Structure 1
Amino acid sequence: MDTSRSRGRTPKALRTAALAALLTTGALTAAAPDAHAGGARTETPVGTVAGVAESVVRVKVPLPASFGARPAACDWLSYLRYRSTDGPAASADADRVLVAQPGILEGAGAFDSVARNTVTRAAEQGEHIEFWALDRRSNCLEDHTGVDSGDQHTAVDYYYRGKQVNGRTFAGFADNGQLGWMAGLGIRQTVRDQYDLLTTELPDQSLRKRKLLCGGHSLGGVVTGYFATADFDGDPATTADAGYNQCAGYFALDTTVSTSLADLSGSLPGDTDVPDVGLGYGAVQAGLDSGVLPRSLSAPVLLNPETMTLLAIAGVGALQNPGGESDLPAYLPSNTDIEATNRFLFSKDTATFLTGSPSVKDFRLTNQAVLGALLDDNSVPLAFLQSSVGFFDGGPVTDKNFPAANGGSQQPGLFGTRYKAIPAEPHGPLYTWRDYDRVGAPDDPGYRSSDGTPFTEAGEEVTDIQELARSLARQQLDFTEQYFPTKLVTDLELATSPQVRQLVVHPDGLTADPTLTVLAGDGLLAGRFPADLHPVIADGYQHLDVLTAAPVQNDGRPEPVSTNLARFAENPE
């Protein structure tokens, strides 16, 4: 395992249409006067699997009054706590605690597999560690009632047809007018929330400095960079409160620990509703405060609360009846967002997208195949949503040349590098799903593109589709983030503005502690790995695979991300 000390990086002028130039933030160093008001805490067991106990922890940490009216649930911070059943019950007695910040449009549930795998690997080494998967505060707006029913039809009826579940009726997806309090949820409040949570859960600063490893996935690496360089008591001369003095080390999962978004090029598509308008800090904040600018980031296709809920519902179906024929595409209501998403994800070319024929409803798919089509790297065309969960089976497939064509030079950033495929015969055979560990088996048809290139090979498949379904459908904190604060992205996009620069009080904090950087071999940084960080490369992995990969890989080796995290936890020096 390679570990190195992270090196500070100057923000680069690498911008894509994915992240537009808007910025809003406030000073970080002033502590919120009522940050610890309430002091309530709850911990609810989720379950124990293979010696790893999971619970959801909620700590009451109210927002300052200046945020205005918000749901009562939004005055609580939440995280998923994973620990070995053979280890101590108290977090303070654990050998190490890994604290993970999620990426863009990502919730705590996305860490389910890597958290379990890391705790298990550490236990095999005789270490009892914990893994805390943090949820951003805005996830308080999500309603799990339909998904928690465990029935796909019930979930669809709850979210889209107004039917009650256990006496509860869905209040609807929140619109911009209901999100006024989110106008202040930028990088300042995000790292403040992490600090307040850590100091509440582990009040002894010297213990935090010895035992905590701070890190994250994707955008979580940048959030960790700001946390490391932050001052939390308003006095830069005192450093016990500094972010870097809350951690014994840092870890970065397909990202870097820095205060720049440059390494995350391709992490978001360009049709999100953050306008590319070069506004200054004050103008953007005024736009967010007034509601002229959207307070939650979304796009008309796939990336909005209504359509992201479909990922969890697809997970429910894959758990409920993995090999059964799915009726989800036909059972869903017909509206503009869902229709556009279906066309975007299941059109083989531009003509099919424009005409809508054949549509996903014209194909016979198992529940597993529906989930695979939504998240597999040979199907979904957005790199930051891709995982390597296997491939279509049961019938002929063809090239998916929309929204980008297969072949030629590797497709950069946004669309990923893998050839895309799609079932070829509407009204034909039942398309099943070949899981990651059956790719390359003797009965594998070995599907190829029209140019002769194999769509996939065993070394490129790493995630078990049923584990992915569990992470999507059986977590008390969501895998996805339906209401991502626009202000968090716009703050980071204008990192050079005075209002954001002032948050980096201790720039040497980036290099104050040892850092483990683990990168997906085919992820967002593919082809431009930062050699100065001496990263561990997980070959064949996509951006999400660093979180979702199965504990044992196709070649029999232990999963490398969790293996290296466990080693780093044992000795981060």
Structure 2
Amino acid sequence: MNTSRSRGRTWRGAALAVLLTTGALTAAAPDAQGDGARTETPVTSTHPADGVTESVVRVKLPLPRSFGDRPAACDQLSYLRYRSADGPAASADADRILVAQPGILEGAGAFDSVARGTVAKAAAQGRHIEFWALDRRSNCLEDRTGIASGDQHTAVDYYYRAKQVDGRVFGGFVGDNRLGWMAKLGIEQTVRDEYDLLVHELPDQGLRRNKVLCGGHSLGGVVTGYFAAADFDGDPTTLADAGQNQCAGYFALDTTISTSLADLSGSLPDDTDLPDIGLGYAAVQAGLDTGVLPRSLSAPVLLNPETMTLLAIAGLGAVRDADGEADLPAYLPSGINIEATNRFLFSKDAATFLTGSPGVKDFRLTNATVLGALMDDNSVPLAFLQSSVGFFDGGPVTDKSFPAANGGTQPTRLFGVGYKAIPAQPHGPLYTWRDYDRVGDADDPGYRSADGTPFTDAGKEVTDLQELARSLAEQPLDFTEQYFPTKLVTDIQLATSPQVRKLVVHPTGLTANPTLTVLAGDGLLAGRIPADLHPVVAAGYQHLDVLTAAPEQNNGLPEPVSGALSSFARTPR
């Protein structure tokens, strides 16, 4: 390995993470011992009956006083708890408990489909397991009031026009000047949060050791790696508190259990030609503390709270009236972030992006088509946001050659592997959405790129758009993470620094327990799948599909991810 080149990439990645980023506060809380106040609230969903009960759990576990002022909600940890309706009410009595860390810019709601599928498959085999989808602490800043209204127009009015919902007015998207407490929210606190939550919910260490399976999706695999190697009592000679001894096994969903970002090259554009700025850990931390470096990752295009909220709003439209003609593009207020996002996602080439014509408002689209255009791997040019939910229908399409041309060689996995398409006829037909299980049917037009390559086929479509819409619009904990802590990425990118290296107290913890690795065939590791991990490979899947895939696939078989997880949960220690 070329060490200098690797180090240069690390610093360039840190630089880009910085360049990508552009509640009422309580008094600082006492040092985190927490009163452990706990609430559990049932979640109602339009998901078809599957024998799975869902609830949202919130536990008060305050941050240390050193974090400073923060919203009161940020002194609690939250997760979605999925369990068999016929199973035991107490988590400690379950056969196994899978605890999942989300990926970058991802929240607990993203696990809805795979969590339900895993619990249901285990129940069908006579076992009662639970799936806990964790929210990282920074998700506390999100306000779901507008989405919870269930109406697109109400949600838009709430978030963008300062109109009330149930007597509440949106406090605005949180600026970096109010995120000083997040300057310390890195990998150390993230794994501490998981440990404290597990200890609170399952106080018996022996039970955790035998029943809990620790894992995650994307960046969640790296977080799990640090958790497995961590020591939580400050004494490395006492092992009951070691991360590896809180888990009976590990699971990795389109990721690996490691302490490196190397396997996630498509989750952030970290392989660039940016100059090596040479920042060390202390300089980065000083920049975060002073606000010279932004405390939350965002960008003017899609990756910021204002525009990520649009994903859930689009999900509302698809849930309520999938085939109805959308008015969302026209109803949204104008603004730099929204306009830049619309142009980035709905421009066929650079000229269209620069002029803004034709724009998304010039096309007739159903509500389902709007969501598909925002999330499908043949439309959205960001690999870590891609799922395979079908394809455009109802009118002619053309190649989307912006920001990358179809069929070209990409230096990174940032844009994914699928050819991108876009409606070709403004002011024309109503573009509908062909769902995943209708691709390849007799009435499928079989759209092709200009070079003759089919844009998609039945084997590459795996996620039901309605299920994805429900995960986006109906969950009390968000599908996305609108305020992703910059420090969580820079800590891991600076893994060789003494301040981060010291967190890996028990490096053998990464391999101390059995590991299940499930990879998307067309995901972040496509073309370089590590055979030594003996992974389950979901053919045709994109990065998000390992979480969102429909129970029945186009080949007539059940989706493999939840099957692999439920089987792994059955394996004796």
Is 1:144–2:138 an aligned residue pair? no
Secondary structure of 2:311 counterpart: helix
* Kept after mapping to 2: 8 A contact 1:22/1:279: no
Measured against aligned partners, the alpha-carbon deviations of 1:68-123 in whole angstroms (never above 9, x if no partner) come to 01111000000000000011010000000000000000000000000000001111
Measured against aligned partners, the alpha-carbon deviations of 1:444-482 in whole angstroms (never above 9, x if no partner) come to 111111111110000000000000000000000000000
* Kept after mapping to 2: 8 A contact 1:23/1:494: no
Shift of 1:277: 2.9
* Kept after mapping to 2: 8 A contact 1:69/1:181: yes
Aligned to 1:374: 374
**C-alpha distance in 2 between matches for 1:224 and 1:14:** 26
Q: Give the aligned CA root-mean-square deviation in angstroms.
A: 2.0
Shift of 1:409: 4.3
Aligned to 1:29: none
Identify if the C-alpha distance between structure 1 residues 426 and 309 changes in structure 2 by more than 3 Å, giving closer, same or farther: same
Spell out the pairing of 1:342-421 with structure 2 (5 A cutoff).
Answer: 342-409=342-409, 412-421=412-421
**Counterpart AA for 1:37:** G
Measured against aligned partners, the alpha-carbon deviations of 1:362-396 in whole angstroms (never above 9, x if no partner) come to 00000000000000000000001000000000001
Aligned to 1:228: 228
Aligned to 2:38: 41
**C-alpha distance in 2 between matches for 1:518 and 1:314:** 29
Measured against aligned partners, the alpha-carbon deviations of 1:14-70 in whole angstroms (never above 9, x if no partner) come to 93798325999xxxxxxx994332110000000374210000000000000000011
Is 1:19–2:13 an aligned residue pair? yes
Secondary structure of 1:537 counterpart: strand
Is 1:116–2:110 an aligned residue pair? no
* Kept after mapping to 2: 8 A contact 1:23/1:279: no
Is 1:173–2:170 an aligned residue pair? no
**C-alpha distance in 1 between matches for 2:400 and 2:432:** 18
Aligned to 1:3: none
Measured against aligned partners, the alpha-carbon deviations of 1:179-226 in whole angstroms (never above 9, x if no partner) come to 011011000000000000000000000000000000000000000000
Measured against aligned partners, the alpha-carbon deviations of 1:146-172 in whole angstroms (never above 9, x if no partner) come to 000000000000000010000000000
**C-alpha distance in 1 between matches for 2:349 and 2:114:** 35
Runs of 4+ in 1 over 2 A off after TM superposition: 11-19, 21-24, 32-36, 269-272, 274-278, 408-412
Measured against aligned partners, the alpha-carbon deviations of 1:386-442 in whole angstroms (never above 9, x if no partner) come to 000000000010110000001244774001110000000000000000000000111
* Kept after mapping to 2: 8 A contact 1:44/1:55: yes
* Kept after mapping to 2: 8 A contact 1:329/1:360: yes
Is 1:481–2:475 an aligned residue pair? no
Measured against aligned partners, the alpha-carbon deviations of 1:483-519 in whole angstroms (never above 9, x if no partner) come to 0000000000010000000000000001100000000
Aligned residues: 555
Aligned to 2:493: 493
Secondary structure of 2:53 counterpart: strand
Aligned to 1:7: none
**C-alpha distance in 1 between matches for 2:300 and 2:477:** 24
**C-alpha distance in 1 between matches for 2:502 and 2:457:** 48
Secondary structure of 1:194 counterpart: helix
Secondary structure of 1:480 counterpart: coil
Spell out the pairing of 1:157-172 with structure 2 (5 A cutoff).
Answer: 157-172=157-172
Q: Which range moved further: 407-416 or 396-405?
A: 407-416
* Kept after mapping to 1: 8 A contact 2:265/2:271: no
**Counterpart AA for 2:501:** R
Shift of 1:531: 1.2
* Kept after mapping to 2: 8 A contact 1:20/1:275: no
**C-alpha distance in 1 between matches for 2:127 and 2:357:** 55
Aligned to 2:268: 268
**Counterpart AA for 1:529:** I
* Kept after mapping to 2: 8 A contact 1:52/1:120: yes
Aligned to 1:548: 548
Aligned to 1:257: 257
Secondary structure of 2:414 counterpart: helix
Gap regions ≥5 residues in structure 2 = 19-28
**C-alpha distance in 2 between matches for 1:137 and 1:191:** 11
Aligned to 1:91: 91
Identify if the C-alpha distance between structure 1 residues 351 and 18 changes in structure 2 by more than 3 Å, giving closer, same or farther: farther
Secondary structure of 1:117 counterpart: helix
Identify if the C-alpha distance between structure 1 residues 16 and 503 changes in structure 2 by more than 3 Å, giving closer, same or farther: closer
Secondary structure of 1:491 counterpart: helix
**C-alpha distance in 2 between matches for 1:277 and 1:14:** 9
**C-alpha distance in 2 between matches for 1:118 and 1:346:** 35
* Kept after mapping to 2: 8 A contact 1:229/1:242: yes
Aligned to 1:65: 65
Identify if the C-alpha distance between structure 1 residues 195 and 276 changes in structure 2 by more than 3 Å, giving closer, same or farther: farther
**C-alpha distance in 2 between matches for 1:18 and 1:44:** 44
Measured against aligned partners, the alpha-carbon deviations of 1:214-269 in whole angstroms (never above 9, x if no partner) come to 00000000000000000000000000000000000000000000001101012124
Aligned to 1:469: 469
**C-alpha distance in 2 between matches for 1:495 and 1:469:** 37
Aligned to 2:21: none
Identify if the C-alpha distance between structure 1 residues 249 and 298 changes in structure 2 by more than 3 Å, giving closer, same or farther: same
* Kept after mapping to 2: 8 A contact 1:22/1:281: no
**C-alpha distance in 2 between matches for 1:427 and 1:328:** 16
Aligned to 1:199: 199
Return the TM-score normalized by structure 1. Answer: 0.94
Identify if the C-alpha distance between structure 1 residues 383 and 475 changes in structure 2 by more than 3 Å, giving closer, same or farther: same
Identify if the C-alpha distance between structure 1 residues 18 and 131 changes in structure 2 by more than 3 Å, giving closer, same or farther: farther
* Kept after mapping to 2: 8 A contact 1:226/1:258: yes
Secondary structure of 1:89 counterpart: coil
Measured against aligned partners, the alpha-carbon deviations of 1:522-562 in whole angstroms (never above 9, x if no partner) come to 00000001111111100000000000000110111011000
* Kept after mapping to 2: 8 A contact 1:35/1:196: no
Spell out the pairing of 1:441-460 with structure 2 (5 A cutoff).
Answer: 441-460=441-460
Shift of 1:344: 0.3
**C-alpha distance in 2 between matches for 1:204 and 1:22:** 43
Higher relative contact order (CA 8 A, sep 6+): 1
Identify if the C-alpha distance between structure 1 residues 409 and 284 changes in structure 2 by more than 3 Å, giving closer, same or farther: closer
Measured against aligned partners, the alpha-carbon deviations of 1:303-332 in whole angstroms (never above 9, x if no partner) come to 000000000000011111100000111110
Aligned to 1:6: none
**C-alpha distance in 2 between matches for 1:516 and 1:493:** 25
**Counterpart AA for 1:50:** D
Identify if the C-alpha distance between structure 1 residues 270 and 334 changes in structure 2 by more than 3 Å, giving closer, same or farther: farther
* Kept after mapping to 2: 8 A contact 1:227/1:244: yes
* Kept after mapping to 2: 8 A contact 1:23/1:284: no
